[in-house]
Amino acid sequence: MLPIREGFILSAVLFVLGVIGVLVRRNIVFVLMSIEVMLNAAGLAFVVAGTRWRQPDGQVIFLFILAMAAAEVSVGLALVLELYHRYKSLDTDVMNRMRG
Amino acid sequence: MTIVFYTAGTIAVAATVLTVTRFHAVHALLYLIVSLLAVSVIFYDFGAPFVAALEVIVYAGAIMVLFVFVVMLLNLGEQASRAEHALLTPSMWIGPAILVAILLAQFVWLLVRGGAPPAARAEIGSVEVGMALFGRYLMGAELASMLLLAGLVGAYHLGWRKAPKVEVTHASHP
């Protein structure tokens, strides 16, 4: 018998670790990595649910999450490079001033 | 099956905790890759081999390579040689290496012991996923392709640097 409930618990634990990373870390690269952890945990929940009901839908949604993560990371890392070029720092506290 | 799930889940949680708490970005990246590989083993254990392969190829391969590129781009200069020196110390890679060795042992054990997947696992293979993806979810697949195109164009636009102006107009206009 597959450990369905434990799979969801693992997904929740990984998601909360990602949330902690986003809230605690100040380096913007670490924030992006924590977002990746959260997306991966959500995908794990979808795949576990798809296994539970024996449908391929969960894996299809995981593919969508994968495509979304790839697009998000490419734009996010381009923004990180631009911010580093502009502020010479990766600290998010340095970048909390808006123009205006 | 259960022992594989619990071991891989423990490795995933431990590697994620180490990802969040490391100070050095390359350490954190290595542990994040270990976490993704552990989740991939869990996918295989849950009877989703197609998604497990995609997790390794796309997540641990492509996306993490992007991260590694950016981290390496951001500490150029005199720090780079010291960082390169630090990469070669055993304290840097011994933790991820041990965790990945455990995952590899699990994967080999799954392949050698089982051969065919056990009947209780009810594997959902790539055929069913492909039928669903290009059947019911065809519009979603098209939207995902458009999203990837938008990401490509956005990343290109953000990374585009203006070429330095060449003073041609003044010279041709006496």
pLDDT in tens, B21-79: 888 888 899 999 999 999 999 998 888 989 999 999 999 999 999 998 888 888 755 56
Rounded Cα gap, residues A11 and B153, in angstroms = 32
Q: Among the residues of chain B, which ranges form H helices?
A: 2-21, 25-45, 49-54, 64-74, 78-87, 90-114, 126-133, 138-158, 169-172
Residues of A in contact with B75 (CB under 8 A): none
Same-domain pairing of B20 and B104: yes
Residue A44 lies in a domain: yes
Q: Residue B89 — pLDDT band, cuts 50, 70, 90?
A: confident
Distance between first and last Cα of chain B? 82
Rounded Cα gap, residues A33 and A30, in angstroms = 5
Same-domain pairing of B111 and B134: no
* pLDDT tens, position by position, A39-95: 999 999 999 999 988 889 999 999 999 999 999 999 999 999 888 888 888 888 877
Same-domain pairing of B104 and B134: no
Instruction: Check: CB of residue B43 under 8 Å from CB of residue B55.
Output: yes
Residue A8 lies in a domain: no
Q: Which domain holds residue B30?
A: 2-122
- On the 0-12 / 13-18 / 19+ scale of CB atoms within 10 A, B108 is exposed
Per-residue model confidence (pLDDT) at position B83: 61
Helix axes B2-21, B25-45, angle to 10 degrees: 160
Q: Residue A1 — pLDDT band, cuts 50, 70, 90?
A: low
Instruction: Check: CB of residue A77 under 8 Å from CB of residue B70.
Output: yes
Calculate how close chain B gets to A100, using CA atoms only, in Å: 22
Give the closest residue to A33 by CA, choosing from B32, B57, B65, B58.
B32
Paired with B136 in beta bridges are none
Same-domain pairing of B6 and B64: yes
CATH number for position A54: 1.10.287.3510
Per-residue model confidence (pLDDT) at position B118: 53
pTM reported for the whole predicted model: 0.85
Residue B171 lies in a domain: no
Instruction: Check: CB of residue B32 under 8 Å from CB of residue B19.
Output: yes
For chain A, the domain total comes to 1
Per-residue model confidence (pLDDT) at position B165: 58
Is the Cβ pair A66, B54 closer than 8 Å? yes
Same-domain pairing of B54 and B139: no
Give the closest residue to B119 by CA, choosing from A6, A45, A54, A57.
A54
Give the nearest partner residue to A51 out of B36, B46, B58, using CB atoms: B46
Q: φ and ψ at B124, to 5 degrees?
A: -105, 105
For chain B, the domain total comes to 2
Does B59 contact chain A (CB < 8 Å)?
yes
* pLDDT tens, position by position, B124-156: 888 999 999 999 999 999 999 999 999 999 999
Instruction: Check: CB of residue A32 under 8 Å from CB of residue A73.
Output: yes
Distance of CA B68 to CAs A2, A49, B33, B123, Å? 35, 32, 11, 34
Please give the residue of chain B at the shortest CA–CA distance from A38: B16
Residue B33 lies in a domain: yes
pLDDT higher than threshold 50 for residue B9: yes
Is the ipTM value over 0.85, yes or no?
yes
Mutate: best of A46, A47, A55, A88, partner B, most B CBs <10 A: A47
